[in-house]
Amino acid sequence: MAPAGQQATAGPQGASATCTAGPSKTPETGTTTGPIYGRVALIGLGLIAGSMGLAMARRGLAGETVGTARTAATRATAGARGLCDRIVETAAEAVGGADLVVLAVPVGAMGEVAQEIAPHLMPGATVTDVGSVKASVIAQVAPHMPQGVHFVPGHPLAGTEQSGPDAGFDTLFDNRWCLLIDAPGTDAAALDRLRRLWQGMGSQVATMDADHHDLVLAVTSHAPHLIAYTMVGVADDLGRVTDSEVIRYSAAGFRDFTRIAASDPTMWRDVFLHNRDATLEILGRFTEELFALQRAIRTGDGDLLHAYFTRTRAIRRGILEAGQDTAAPDFGRGGVPR
């Protein structure tokens, strides 16, 4: 397994995904309808793949969707919920004849799945993934991609703390960003087709370099999740989490931490193990800032605290002005199934 942050190189048979440092490109938006792919294979039928199946069906973006999952129980639930048109037992079977293959399993399982499907991929097909970490996934998957198969990694910035085949819903990606990795050698037509699929599912699409993606996500998602896990753990150590007063009187702060800390343990274990360097870099900076604030509290430095909080308040305003959240007390999550 490749260490996080490792540069992915083209696979031995010419798979094209590589990553280099660089800025993100201009975001593009739009809504596309009508079939974009003849057959889409969804590998893994949890929150993200299930939502993709439903979102594609909503706008008729695929001629046919074929899905598979590791366990019979997940496959049965996915079938009952109609997450895709056809359910098959193995990933190898699912990718046959598919012009788009979506890897939607935990980050640590991507390489194993790529190895399994590689001999069965159709020439000219595009393989993408939805993993929350990009450099490690590229390092795991790219070496298995056969000549003539295009690998375009992706990451929808959409989710809830729920997981599994019951969790998906067709509007999950509406007005959310999807980041696609545009590395040197990436097939432009394959990237453009995938971009149109995500736009059709309701997302805004931006392209980004893998290492830059992993650093940005360490700041915006991975480190905050670790902090939430830690804060809930601290409260648990104090024996107060289940105390009815803590629950009853917890405002958005602690209650939001418990919601985030309820996220899938397998997924988040893999995220931290596979985005190790960027997460540790951000946590190091976080710890330094925490010590500075701790010292300001101890020494009664109100000016420092006030200046700090004034700066962070402006960041929140910027997020609202960019339309990335709402000022509602529940942060706009009222309509999202839980």
- Residue 76 CB, nearest approach to ligand NAP (Å): 10
List, in sequence order, the alpha helices (H) in 16-97: 47-59, 72-81, 91-95
Give the strand order in the sheet containing 154-156: 154-156, 177-181, 204-208
Nearer to ligand NAP, 58 or 321 (CB): 58
d(CA 112, CA 74): 19
Nearer to ligand NAP, 112 or 289 (CB): 112
Terminal Cα-to-Cα distance of the chain (whole angstroms): 34
Residues binding ligand NAP (CB under 6 A): 44-49, 69-71, 74, 104-107, 109, 113, 130-132, 155-156, 159, 163-164, 167, 264, 267
Nearer to ligand NAP, 87 or 104 (CB): 104
Phi, psi dihedral angles at 224 (to 5 degrees): -60, -40
Phi, psi dihedral angles at 146 (to 5 degrees): -70, 160
The count of other CB atoms within 10 Å of the CB of residue 51 is 25
- Within 140-213, strands assigned E span 150-151, 154-156, 177-181, 204-208
Query: Which distant-in-sequence residues (6+ apart) come within 8 Å of 198 by Cβ?
Result: 154, 156, 173, 178, 180, 205
- Residue 36 CB, nearest approach to ligand NAP (Å): 20
Nearer to ligand NAP, 133 or 232 (CB): 133
Nearer to ligand NAP, 166 or 301 (CB): 166
- Residue 229 CB, nearest approach to ligand NAP (Å): 15
Which of 30, 89, 82 is CA-nearest to residue 58?
82
Which of 192, 142, 166 is CA-nearest to residue 49?
166
Nearer to ligand NAP, 269 or 295 (CB): 269
Nearer to ligand NAP, 35 or 164 (CB): 164
- Residue 106 CB, nearest approach to ligand NAP (Å): 5
- Residue 87 CB, nearest approach to ligand NAP (Å): 11
- Residue 96 CB, nearest approach to ligand NAP (Å): 18
- Residue 213 CB, nearest approach to ligand NAP (Å): 12
